[in-house]
Amino acid sequence: MALAVVATIRPACVEDAEFISRAILLAQRGPYPRGWFDIALDRPEADVLAFVKRLAGVGAISWWHASQFIVAEVDGVPAAALCAMPSRGSLRMARPALEEAAREAGMSQADLATMFARGAYSNSCWIQGGDDDWLIEHVAVQPAFRGRGLMQALLVRALEAGKAAGYGRASITFVIGNDMAERCYARAGFSFAEEKRDADFEAITGCPGFRRFERMI
């Protein structure tokens, strides 16, 4: 496959934090103008990116941390990324990471409380796999590198990592309406597991809710 000549798949590192922050925002937004961080922080994009970049390097490990990501490079340039990690405890790990990043950013307790209040809209329809699943999250390819098979290459590597870690099933959740991502996941052997919709969630985001795919590893 020609892609293997020009693409390198590798674990992410802290130096990738800025790239990972952009990947996270792309993945959260999908085809919509705003994702969770845009809404929860309600700040200019540069400030949102700076906050997510902090999350990628803080001491608290979460599904935004660089250590949980795999990166695809094309000719030495980071082009795509995804997070792959155990599902167990992943949601619980998010809050300490957010709190640490907020402290580093100089946010007050009132700012933090406001961020959590704005971000609570997603609680009504967020879904993810069971505790025994291998979780894949924040899958994104930079627009200039789409159509080169990078997402498929990353998914293959992520599934290999899950199998090596002893997991038998992988799960991935994405916003309903992200048809491009859905087609890619289906090509990688994932199939529909469940979805959850919420009118209030749609009123805020323009998106009906979340859909989850899974596959055996």
Q: Tell me the CB-side half-sphere exposure of residue 130, using CA atoms within 13 A.
A: 6
Sign of torsion over alpha carbons 54, 43, 198, 28: negative
What pLDDT does residue 6 have? 67
Q: What is the pLDDT of residues 54-99, one digit of tens each?
A: 999 999 999 999 999 999 999 999 999 999 999 999 999 999 999 9
Task: With beta carbons less than 8 A apart as the criterion, state whether 100 and 93 touch.
Answer: no
Q: Write the CB contacts of 60 (distance below 8 Å, at least 6 apart in sequence).
A: 93, 96, 97, 99, 100
CATH of the domain at 187: 3.40.630.30
**pLDDT given at position 7:** 86
Interval 139-157: pLDDT, tens:
999 999 999 999 999 999 9
The answer to pTM > 0.75 is yes
The closest of 155, 168, 16 to 79, measured between CA atoms, is: 16
CB neighbour list of residue 27: distance below 8 Å, 6 or more residues apart? 35, 137, 138, 139, 140, 174
Under 8 Å CB-to-CB from 53, ≥6 apart: which residues? 17, 18, 20, 21
pLDDT digits (tens, 9 = 90+) for 158-213: 999 999 999 999 999 999 999 999 999 999 999 999 999 999 999 999 999 999 99
Its domain, for residue 8, covers: 3-216
User: What is the total count of domains within the chain?
Assistant: 1
From CA 213, how far away is CA 198, in angstroms rounded?
Answer: 18
Helix (H, G, I), strand (E, B) or coil at 80: strand
